[in-house]
Amino acid sequence: MTRISPKNYPSFQNKHVIITGGSSGIGKATAKLLARQGANISIIARDVNKLKAARQEIETARASKEQKVFTASANASIRTEIKTVIEAAIDRLGTPDILITSVGIARPGYFGEIPIEVFEQSMAINYFGSLYSLKAVLPAMERQKKGCIVLISSGAGLIGIYGYSAYSPSKFALRGLAESIRGELQPKGIQISIVYPPNTDTPQLAEENKTKPTETKIIEGTAKTWMAEDVAQAIIEGINRKSFAITPGWEMNYLNRLHSLLSPILNWYFDRIVTRVSVRESKHLSKE
């Protein structure tokens, strides 16, 4: 991806941006990019040590030492926790101009082998964690009659991917939420965007690879893995354009526009990979 000079971005000077899941990955990369543009940043995540390290990186990236950085530890899937820390961020830095929900987990595997608790946790964190955050900031944005909400979904929120039976539905749910409330929020001056990142080189991807089925690795092997900084840049560009769907890269762009038409072709392709792996493993077992 061609990097665009920060001077080409409209200024985020003195804007307050709240980012859940902002201590690592796409969330942290976006926080640092916005800090370079003059924004005041609030990041929320569970791990206190990661929050501390992320704060130092964000403060180093600031355009000015006058910019404020607020951090708070909370589990986004617990409504009272996330509401309390978002209210604290608003008290400290003012009404948020932008909310970015980057919190999320993924544990791929074969459907029959994934514990039901993983399905419940995926929906609790990936969907309800974003919903609770949105609910917490919305009254303040409505009072000032402006704001921007960015929900980070996934390419797996556009089409179900083999091995992601716990993850994909939670990301599909975010798409449904964004599409449902877009028209309701627009007259109130509140922009909503939903992001469909491709595979991104983050700590979460490293965790996913520990349980990812062979078939899934082959399916994903045909696509480029992005850097978190490049996805963050695409998010900022999408916010500036007031885009509803933010699709980093041509693959996500086409998948977003044509997923219903492409689905039969992709399913045929995925099935070929699954069959090939199954035959290979059967031959291996027969030799033992």
Q: Tens digit of pLDDT for each residue in 163-218? A: 999 999 999 999 999 999 999 999 999 999 999 999 999 988 888 999 999 989 88
Does 184 reside within a domain? yes
**Residue 242 located in a structural domain:** yes
Of the candidate ranges 45-59, 128-142, 238-252, the one whose mean pLDDT is the lowest: 238-252
Residue-wise pLDDT for 55-101, tens only, equals 999 999 999 999 999 999 999 999 999 999 999 999 999 999 999 99
For residue 266, is it within any domain? yes
**By the 8 A CB rule, do 18 and 100 touch?**
yes
- Alpha-carbon dihedral angle through residues 274, 280, 285, 286, given to the nearest 10 degrees: 120
Task: Round the average pLDDT of the chain to a whole number and report it.
Answer: 89
The structural domain count of the chain equals 1
CATH number of the CATH domain containing 260: 3.40.50.720
Catalytic pick among 122, 153, 154, 165? 153
Residue 287's SS3 state is: helix
**2: in domain:** no
Taking the alpha carbons of 133, 136, 142, 147 in that order, is the dihedral positive or negative? Answer: negative
Determine, yes or no, domain membership for 1. Answer: no
> Is there a domain that residue 259 lies in?
yes
Pairing of strands 200-201, 40-45: unpaired
The Cα diameter of the chain in Å comes to: 69
- Which ranges of the chain would DSSP assign to H, the alpha helix? 25-36, 48-61, 79-93, 116-122, 129-144, 167-185, 203-211, 214-220, 228-241, 249-287
- Alpha carbon distance, N-terminus to C-terminus of the chain: 47
Token code pair at residue 249: 């890269």
**Token output for 29:** 């990369």
Within 8 A by CB and 6+ apart from 31, the residues are 17, 19, 22, 41, 43, 54, 58
Instruction: Establish whether 210 is a catalytic residue.
Output: no
Whole domain around residue 179: which residue ranges? 8-287
Question: Which of 132, 167, 168, 196 is the catalytic position?
Answer: 167
pLDDT for the residue numbered 277: 73
| CA gap 52, 57 in Å, rounded | 9
**Main-chain phi, psi angles of 99, to 5 degrees:** -115, 130
- Pick from 71, 69, 132: nearest CA to 101: 132
Mean pLDDT of the region 8-17 = 79
Assess whether 171 carries a catalytic annotation. Answer: yes
What pLDDT sits at residue 273? 77
Catalytic residue among 28, 32, 50, 171: 171
146 within 8 A of 94, measured Cβ to Cβ: no
With contact defined as beta carbons under 8 Å apart, do 158 and 251 qualify?
Answer: no
